[in-house]
Structure formats: structure tokens, C-alpha cells
A = this chain, B = another copy of it.
Amino acid sequence: MRVDGTPYRSIWLAEDGWAAEIIDQTVLPHRFETVRLETLEDAARAIEIMQVRGAPLIGATAAYGMCLGLKDDTSDEALEAAAARLRRTRPTAINLIWAIDEMLAALRNQPREKRQEAAYARAAEICDEDVEACRHIGLNGVKLIEDIAAKKPGKTVNILTHCNAGWLATVDWGTALSPIYHAHDKGLDVHVWADETRPRNQGAALTAWELGKHGVPHTVIADNTGGHLMQHGQVDICITGTDRTAGNGDVANKIGTYLKALAARDNDIPFYVALPHSTIDWTIEDGVRDIPIEQRDETEVTHIQGLAADGTVQSVQVSAPGSPAGNYAFDVTPARLVTGLITERGVCEASREGLVGLYPEQADDGS
């Protein structure tokens, strides 16, 4: 998508053809800076400290991390060590493991002298496939928004989203935001309620930033607010992303997603989750029970980073000194609360039957 007129992806190959470059999402929305990843460790750290985040982008970054891990050593040992290092970065997003496995499948049986070329080729494919998947998620999801718009002619369609599942979370287009970009670009009158998404504020910082850059009307709200808005008819549809979709349709996503799904159900508002196939974990039958939930450093809760009056980006402590904090990064929304899944192949029910209907090649996989 465009940033001040210039088209960007969230990750790209540097001009020298071997380093990867990313947008440093830890300093957005206050500064727009790109970072050059030159080593496996650079890529792993970028994922860990969340310079890149969002399940599809984590996968794409891991793919380039595998390329960088082969730079000086294309041995089997280097390949497996790179995979192991990257696997340890974050536990919940399944796209990470998917992308590493894709890279290993493309590289394991290659002769060593061909591995670098094959790695960059597959990493580029993974990125291009993600862009195409997200574009199709938009084409499939926009129909849901058009249906709502048709029922309230002349009025704004209000869409609530949580965290950032926009182009910054993928390689381009986004998952949850792709239908919204498509709707806006078609001239539909849409407005987005962007949940702030504490503790890391991806909604206020990233979703608001990218919607603003694209000109999509939106309003930032505290995470506490969505229930009240839904009670009072101010939300027509919820669309979120997911970091891992279980085979039964349960969806792990940024902490707090479950609360919004409950409010949507209580107010008869459709709650959709948008995802590319790489987010599906066919091996998990009960997402609430079995999807691992990352716990991160408590300072992400006790402190908040923002732009100070003097123009510097500062971290300030917001909670009482000495009080411990808990920092669960994701929760799992049970499939029963999800109206449907928006994928690159179409919209389906959040269930194994629904998913297998779109991905029949997976019918015999899983547990």
C-alpha cells in the first residue's frame, strides 16, 4: 500500500539482492523508519522485539531469515540451526512454523550450492503468495460489507477491528483490513472503529496509521469501548485477523478478541475472522485448550511508549511502582462465536467442515 504516495510492502529484498528490509513497526506511528536485516539473528530479533509482527509478516520475515542463515554456510547444520533459531522467536503465530517448514521443504534436498538461490526464490514466492491471498481475502470479504451497505442505503457501514490485521501485519493488503480497503476503494461509505489494543497499542499505532495514510475514515477507541458501541447500534460487523486457526475453527488472535466476539454475539452482530491458509493449524482440534499462548515481558503492561511533547519517543510508567503485571499476548475465540472465516478461497463456517469445504486437500490430514 502507499505511504505518502510511495508504494510499500512491509518486507522486501534490498537492492543488493541479499539483505531484507522492513519497516520498523516499533516506532510507528511516530517515525517511519526502515531497517536492514543482514543476519539470521537480525531477522530473529526483529520478530522477537516486534519490529515486524502480524502472523503472515512473521512468516515472511522467517523465510528471509532462513535465506540469511545460509549466507556464510549452506550446510544441513546451518539450515537446521536457522530453522531452530527462528522457531523459538514467538510461539503462537502458526505462520512462523508454516513458513519455516516451507523453506525446509524447498531446501533440504537441494545441493548446497543451489540452496541460496532456492531460498531467495521460495522466500519471494511466500511473499507474493501472501499478497495474492490477502488480495483475494479482500475480494471475498468485501461482499459482506456490500451486503450490509445494501441494507442501509445512504448510511455508513461501521466496522470494528481489533489489533492490526492490515497490510503492516501481512506483506500487503492485510487480512481483516483487506475487505475494508477494497470497500473503501469501491466508494462504499465505511468507517472503522480501531481498538487501541493494549498493551502494545497496535490498533492506535498501526491500524489507525495505515487507515489514515489510505484515507479510510476511522476512530480510535479504548479496548473497553466496543461492547457499549455494539449495544447502541454503532457497529455493523466485526472483522479481525488471527494468528492461528485451529482445525475446529477456534481462532487465536490478539488478547481481547474473545471479549469482542462475546459482545458481538450478545448483540447479534456478525463477527468474521480473516486469514490466509497459512494461518490454519490442521493438527489442533481444540484451540482454546491447545493453542500455546505467548506471555511477554510485564514492562509492556506497566509502561507505554509514546511521543513526548519534546518530539522524542519515550516510555512512561503507567502502573503503580512495585505492582506486578501479567502480559498474555493472545486469547482464543471459540468457533461458536465466529460467524464465518474469510479466506483467499472464500467465506466458510468456522468449523472443520467449513474449512475442509474450502481446502478439500486437507480432508485426511490432522489428528
Contacts and interface: CB of A to CB of B under 8 A. Distances in A.
B219 A256 contact: no
Contacts of A321: 29-30, 307
Contacts of A330: 228
A218 to B, nearest CB: 6
B258 A227 contact: yes
B204 A320 contact: yes
A332 interface: yes
Interface stretch (A71-79, A205-213, A350-358): A205-213
Contacts of A209: 320, 323
A227 B256 contact: yes
A318 interface: yes
Contacts of A306: 303-304, 316-318
Contact of A204 (B262, B305, B319): B319
Within the oligomer, what is the number of copies of this chain? 2
Interface in A180-230: 193-194, 196-199, 201, 204-205, 208-209, 211-212, 218-229
A254 interface: yes
Nearest to A163: B224
A142 interface: no
Contacts of A322: 212
Most chain B CB within 10 A, of A197, A258, A314, is at: A258
Contact of A301 (B221, B227, B315, B318): B221
A360 to B, nearest CB: 32
B304 A316 contact: yes
B316 A228 contact: no
A269 interface: no
Given A198-B198, A223-B256, 9 more contacts: A28-B320, A197-B224, A204-B323, A227-B262, A228-B255, A262-B262, A262-B266, A305-B318, A307-B317
30 contacts: A29-B321, A197-B224, A198-B222, A201-B319, A204-B318, A204-B319, A205-B319, A219-B323, A220-B323, A222-B255, A222-B256, A222-B301, A223-B223, A223-B256, A224-B256, A225-B331, A228-B330, A228-B331, A231-B331, A258-B263, A262-B263, A262-B266, A303-B306, A304-B316, A306-B317, A307-B316, A308-B308, A308-B314, A314-B314, A316-B316
